[in-house]
């Protein structure tokens, strides 16, 4: 099993079948400054494995439940329970209204914004390496941000409301298998979600006072099928933080305004403040 700092769509969800109901990751991605493998990748791979069939917990006429246990060196590092629903017609339907934000072509390309910072003579060398790694790590995604990026947004951020919006898509055309699009979408739900809880406190993953940032639990609900190689809006917000934990929720909308996914995450972030 290899560990890599660059993401490709294939490595996000790629699995090697080594026995009945048993799969192994081919590559693991450890993000910059992370303590371990990216949690979103484990979520996406778990969904991919469950769709191929793993341990059965329950099989019903309309619903079935599967269990995935991820292990490293013989120890369980992650458990995931997945519920699948046979598609059926419904006479009731409603959804949250899509946020009123500019369309992707009116927003700012995240990679181009990073390149501007990289080529800016005012950017200290110690941050240029970090910017280069950010560009490389997310090279398999197109991401649009609503505001222009400034170096201070990372090094000395202002306190902001606990809400964030990103336009995201995979630039290369993927196959039409729902398993691929849902597994990649599950991966994406871990992007910036926990960090949303730090926005009101002026903290980023580069903040010297941040000592620990890790996910405790993460849930994803798929409402409708959608393609990740077409633009979708990822809305994130954090309604609560306390006791060194942050709680965030997210929703994904298609460009047409259909709400296709919801997610929720709780994480731990430990911060050291100077004593007065």
- Per-residue model confidence as pLDDT tens digits over 147-177: 998 888 877 889 999 999 999 999 989 888 8
The two structure tokens encoding residue 104: 């992707």
- Report if residue 29 sits inside a domain: yes
- Report if residue 95 sits inside a domain: no
In 3-state terms the chain splits into helix, strand, coil percentages (rounded to 5) of 25, 35, 40
- Report if residue 96 sits inside a domain: no
Q: Give pLDDT, residue 104.
A: 98
**CATH of residue 242:** 2.40.160.210
Q: What is the average per-residue pLDDT within 46-73?
A: 85
- Report if residue 214 sits inside a domain: yes
DSSP line for 50-93: HHH--EEEEE-SSEEEEEEEEEETTEEEEEEEEEEE-----S--
How many other C-beta atoms can be found within 10 angstroms of the C-beta atom of residue 219? 14
Is residue 165 within 8 A of residue 235, CB to CB? The reply is yes
Per the structure, the complete domain to which residue 158 belongs is given by 2-86+103-271
Q: Taking 70 as the threshold, does the pLDDT of residue 31 lie above it? A: no
- The count of domains in the chain is 1
Which residues, including other chains, have CB under 8 Å from residue 174's CB and lie 6 or more apart? 9, 180, 181, 184, 227, 228, 229
Q: Give pLDDT, residue 116.
A: 92
**What distance in Å separates the CA atoms of residue 78 and residue 68, rounded to the nearest whole number?**
8
- Report if residue 97 sits inside a domain: no
Q: For residue 121, what is the DSSP state?
A: T
Q: Give pLDDT, residue 6.
A: 54
- Chain centre to alpha carbon of residue 79: 18
Give the pLDDT band of residue 7 (cuts 50, 70, 90). low
- Report if residue 98 sits inside a domain: no
- Report if residue 91 sits inside a domain: no
- Report if residue 276 sits inside a domain: no
- pTM here is 0.87
Is residue 56 within 8 A of residue 32, CB to CB? The reply is no
Is residue 142 within 8 A of residue 168, CB to CB? The reply is yes
H helix runs in 89-170, sequence order: 110-118, 125-137, 152-155
Residue 228 to residues 140, 168, 238, Cα–Cα distance (Å): 12, 8, 24
Select from 254, 249, 95, 97 the least CA-distant residue to 168. Answer: 254
Q: Give pLDDT, residue 264.
A: 98
């Amino acid at each position: 099993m290899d560990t890599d700092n660059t993401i490709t769509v294939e490595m996000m969800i790629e699995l090697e079948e080594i026995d009945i109901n048993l799969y192994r990751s081919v590559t693991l991605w450890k993000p910059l400054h992370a303590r371990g493998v990216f949690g979103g990748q484990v979520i996406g791979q778990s969904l991919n494995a469950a769709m191929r069939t793993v341990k059965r917990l329950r099989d019903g006429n309309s619903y079935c439940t599967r269990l995935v246990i991820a292990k490293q060196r013989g120890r369980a590092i992650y458990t995931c329970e997945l519920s699948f629903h046979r598609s059926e017609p419904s006479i009731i339907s409603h959804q949250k209204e899509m946020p009123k934000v500019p369309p992707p072509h009116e927003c700012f390309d995240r990679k181009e914004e990073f390149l501007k910072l990289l080529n800016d003579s005012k950017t200290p060398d110690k941050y240029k390496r970090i910017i280069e790694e950010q560009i490389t790590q997310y090279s398999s995604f197109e991401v649009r941000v609503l505001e222009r990026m400034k170096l201070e947004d990372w090094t000395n951020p202002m306190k902001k409301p606990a809400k964030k919006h990103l336009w995201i898509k995979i630039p290369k055309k993927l196959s039409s298998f729902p398993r691929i699009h849902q597994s990649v979408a599950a991966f994406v739900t871990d992007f910036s979600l926990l960090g949303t809880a730090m926005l009101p406190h002026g903290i980023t993953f580069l903040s010297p006072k941040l000592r620990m940032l890790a996910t405790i639990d993460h849930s994803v609900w798929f409402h409708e099928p959608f393609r990740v190689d077409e633009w979708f809006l990822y809305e994130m917000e954090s309604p609560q933080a306390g006791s060194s934990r942050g709680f965030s929720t997210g929703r994904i909308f298609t460009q047409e305004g259909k709400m296709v996914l919801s997610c929720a995450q709780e994480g731990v972030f430990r911060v050291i403040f100077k004593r007065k």
